[in-house]
Amino acid sequence: MAPRKDKDKGEKAAGTDGVFLKVDFDGEQNRPYSAIDVSANLHTKVTKTQAAKILKELHQNGEIEARTAGKQTVYHALQKSSDSASPEILAALSHEIETLQEELSTIKTNEKKARAALAALEAKPRLSTLREDIRQLQEERDAAQARLGKLYGDDQPQISPEARAQLERDWKQWEHHATIRRRICRELWGRCSEVLPEDMTASQLWVSHTLLIIATATLVKSTDGATRSLWGLKDRSNESRSGTDA
């Protein structure tokens, strides 16, 4: 029985060594593995305990690297140190960095200009809005023309060319008079407002004078009516006396 046990043990060890050779730590897959990952990749042909033991031995032999993350230890292939960069490579990299920085500055400037142009375009009314405004204005114009057509239809009075010409001459004449009177009023008001009371402004003086003029005109109109009424009574009294004398 003893030889059989030794034989089984040897086969198991050989099988373990052969299976574990499938774990790739030669750097082709540059990723870390834990004992659980190794056991799972080998489809539990190697237990987690065995995998942890073998990985630990490989790390102690300097064949792989190990990193501890909390309570778990992960293993990865040895990292090959890269050759130091030559001055020419460093100079080329510096030049490329400067070029990229200049391009980045140009891109940022163009972006700023584009954003400003976009903001200006968004501030302007859209074409659809302008078309809608035009449509509404056309509808309002048509409605106004329809109302004017009803007001000035066939019932409007017919004016002869001579009468129309006379009306235009009268209009121009009274417009000329109004312009002259407006100029005279402004000149007089300018002279009156050269010296103002201390507690009154030009606008207040204008309002007070306007009210005074309106009140005077009203008083004159009422006085004129009363005078005419009085003269009418006198005329009727004289007529009655003359009739009595006769």
**Top-level class of domain 17-76:** mainly alpha
Output the pTM of the full model: 0.27
Please report which helix (H) or strand (E) contains residue 51, including its range.
Answer: helix 48-60
Question: 4-13, 141-150, 199-208 — which is least confidently predicted?
Answer: 4-13
Chain segment 31-63, per-residue pLDDT in tens? 777 778 877 887 777 888 888 888 888 888 888
pLDDT for 51: 83
For the chain, how are helix, strand and coil distributed in percent, rounded to 5? 70, 5, 25
Q: How many other C-beta atoms lie within 10 A of the C-beta of residue 178?
A: 10
CA 218 to each of CA 215, 222, 231: distance values in angstroms, whole numbers, following the listed order: 5, 6, 20
Where in the chain are the domains?
A: 17-76
- Distance, in Å, from the CA atom of 212 to the CA atom of 58, rounded to the nearest integer, reads 118
* pLDDT at position 187 over 80: yes
Chain segment 207-234, per-residue pLDDT in tens? 776 777 777 767 666 665 555 555 555 4
pLDDT for 109: 94
Cβ-contact 58, 73 below 8 angstroms: no
